[in-house]
Structure 1
């Protein structure tokens, strides 16, 4: 419990001696006692020599009294405080920090142009880094295929299992459902013209030439492309990639080339496998809804599916696999800073891989149509 007594200082000022504990419980009494200072005094001296403990509320009451006297044109000072108490009192005397001033946004049109320019510069640098990475990968891959560099078979087999074998279930389910949906929607539209029999043509050519390989590539991009980016990105954060360079190993040879080879080869097999399941799904619908026996369905497929459709699909598959692996590994190599960068680069790898796959699919469609393989 704090207490206060009045006296007269040597210079005639009113002397308020405070003692004991000046805490929040005593603020009301303390403020009332300080307000009763003799008004005829020319100034005020607050002596804190006898104060044993003080908190923010007590220090605020002391400082408020001193500022009131100063505002009235009198002198006011605080003396005798112990070092710890003096620090708290002095801290409350400091003026509050100025409120942050919102910067002038300037011309919104110029700000928008600046953001667009910064984005373009970032994308240009990103493209340059990707082209450099592509050149390094092709150089190492060429040396590996010609025998001048070591092919790490264990890594290739491990990645092939992760990309291909472990994806058989989800690819089969996805393409089976796609074949079923394509057959159902095609039959609904063709039934208006009494041409349900051509549903088989739609299933056969669409899944063999386009949908089968494209949807398989998209699934692999979301499943394995993201895994490549996350794995290599985590290694970058843990400085494992730098450790490979330190011991004289090329990260492109150790990490990238096995994934590129495995993804290219496995997507070739997955595209054929997924196409078969799409035909199975379409055949099930034709059997149940169109009352077409499986033998007639298979015979009809043999008539409508041209060898060029199969060849075109098999040509696109390894190219799409190469793109997916390359995008995933490139984004993984770009990881810097913290774990948040891993998530950002993983997302970017999937988005860019799917985008580039669709662009190349459109290119192949125009290219083979130009050559007459319609």
Structure 2
């Protein structure tokens, strides 16, 4: 009949199914084909005996297929014969197990689906707000314990993170700011030239770079470059259960890992924003000289008259708050990693997207606030 099944009949018109070989998952495909080919003969028989004395190896897959054979054709006196004690025990356990089919998932209602998505999004956002405040509380507690001397001051860790997050980001932030400053100046000159007021490009470039563009570009670059790195580092530690090891040793993970990174962002982002603003002004000077025929000395004199300390401080005041938001979101997403590389990648992506979104929203809120107080 097949490689693993042979059929014969006895004088009592019993159908004897002789099974042999290894009934294991390695031969599952061939075994299933033999069982399917045997089922028509089993359906015609009134009494079937399944002889498994020649079965050498049996696992769960093979036991399921043998049980399927018995249920198809065993009559009042039929069943398994020649089974060893080990095989008989496995067959009995499989025979006593009655699997239940999982209910089909409910069909999604196209009318309520948008409201369901909106509700889940709102609940997820509420959970994120709660988690951010919880993380902020842990960080403030760790900082307070450091200030009163109850926890060690990890100066070496802070300096290392300051170098990695801030100092090594200066070249790319300066380059991006220079290019953006040049583009803004070129487009502004193109429009102001129609009114014979090309010199006003100095005022516009200075105010934009120091109040808005410089700090915003620096924050976005740090969110993409360092926020993702912080999330990946913390997530990897979660996967390797290093947080549990730190707690067993009596070390607070917020104190040892997250506080130095967040402090580096808070202290260093104003410096990075100032460097970016200066690089943007350098790009503006170059384009104004080449494209707008504005001499460098005239540009600088006009810049001295147009710039005020208020414009410089307006951008620098935003930077620490943006650094805090980036650090909180990066740490929070790292703590959400569940233990797989897929979760790590998903949380890293979420960290970058959320940080950039929050930074832009925060910049808009600061702009509205400054306008309201006349700053």
Q: Give the corresponding residue for 2:55.
A: 84
Which among 177, 180, 188 is matched to residue 178 of structure 1?
180
Q: Give the corresponding residue for 1:11.
A: none
Following the alignment from structure 2 to structure 1, what is the Cα–Cα distance between the partners of residues 184 and 327?
Answer: 29
Following the alignment from structure 1 to structure 2, what is the Cα–Cα distance between the partners of residues 80 and 246?
Answer: 58
- CA gap 1:306/1:102 in 2 versus in 1, 3 angstroms: same
Whether the 8 Å CA contact 2:154–2:260 is kept in 1: the answer is yes
Following the alignment from structure 1 to structure 2, what is the Cα–Cα distance between the partners of residues 79 and 135?
Answer: 69
Matching of residue 356 in structure 1 with residue 358 in structure 2? yes
Whether the 8 Å CA contact 1:60–1:92 is kept in 2: the answer is no
> How far did 1:127 drift?
1.8
Matching of residue 371 in structure 1 with residue 351 in structure 2? no
Following the alignment from structure 1 to structure 2, what is the Cα–Cα distance between the partners of residues 52 and 175?
Answer: 73
Q: Give the corresponding residue for 1:225.
A: 227
> How far did 1:60 drift?
4.2
Q: Give the corresponding residue for 2:296.
A: 294
Which among 341, 344, 353 is matched to residue 342 of structure 1?
344
Alignment RMSD: 3.3
- CA gap 1:329/1:52 in 2 versus in 1, 3 angstroms: closer
Following the alignment from structure 2 to structure 1, what is the Cα–Cα distance between the partners of residues 18 and 298?
Answer: 107
Whether the 8 Å CA contact 2:19–2:54 is kept in 1: the answer is no
Matching of residue 196 in structure 1 with residue 167 in structure 2? no
| Range with greater deviation from structure 2 (137-146 or 223-232) | 137-146
> How far did 1:184 drift?
1.3
| Alignment map for 1:236-315 (pairs within 5 Å) | 236-315=238-317
| Range with greater deviation from structure 2 (155-164 or 259-268) | 259-268
Whether the 8 Å CA contact 2:17–2:48 is kept in 1: the answer is no
Q: Give the corresponding residue for 1:132.
A: 134
Whether the 8 Å CA contact 1:179–1:281 is kept in 2: the answer is yes
Following the alignment from structure 1 to structure 2, what is the Cα–Cα distance between the partners of residues 89 and 112?
Answer: 49
Whether the 8 Å CA contact 1:183–1:199 is kept in 2: the answer is yes
> How far did 1:119 drift?
3.7
Q: Give the corresponding residue for 1:23.
A: 3
Whether the 8 Å CA contact 2:50–2:70 is kept in 1: the answer is no
> How far did 1:58 drift?
4.9
> How far did 1:269 drift?
1.0
TM-score, normalising length: structure 1: 0.78
Which among 6, 30, 41 is matched to residue 65 of structure 1?
41
Q: What's the CA shift string for 1:164-197, capped at 9, x where partnerless?
A: 1111111111101101110111122222223222
Corresponding residue pairs, total: 336
- CA gap 1:162/1:244 in 2 versus in 1, 3 angstroms: same
Q: List alignment gaps of at least 5 residues for structure 1.
A: 3-21
> How far did 1:100 drift?
7.5
- CA gap 1:133/1:189 in 2 versus in 1, 3 angstroms: same
Following the alignment from structure 1 to structure 2, what is the Cα–Cα distance between the partners of residues 79 and 281?
Answer: 88
Following the alignment from structure 2 to structure 1, what is the Cα–Cα distance between the partners of residues 248 and 193?
Answer: 67
Following the alignment from structure 2 to structure 1, what is the Cα–Cα distance between the partners of residues 221 and 141?
Answer: 28
Secondary structure in 2 aligned to 1:84? strand
Q: List alignment gaps of at least 5 residues for structure 2.
A: 24-29, 57-61, 73-98
Q: Which has the larger radius of gyration?
A: 1
Following the alignment from structure 2 to structure 1, what is the Cα–Cα distance between the partners of residues 110 and 374?
Answer: 52
> How far did 1:113 drift?
4.1
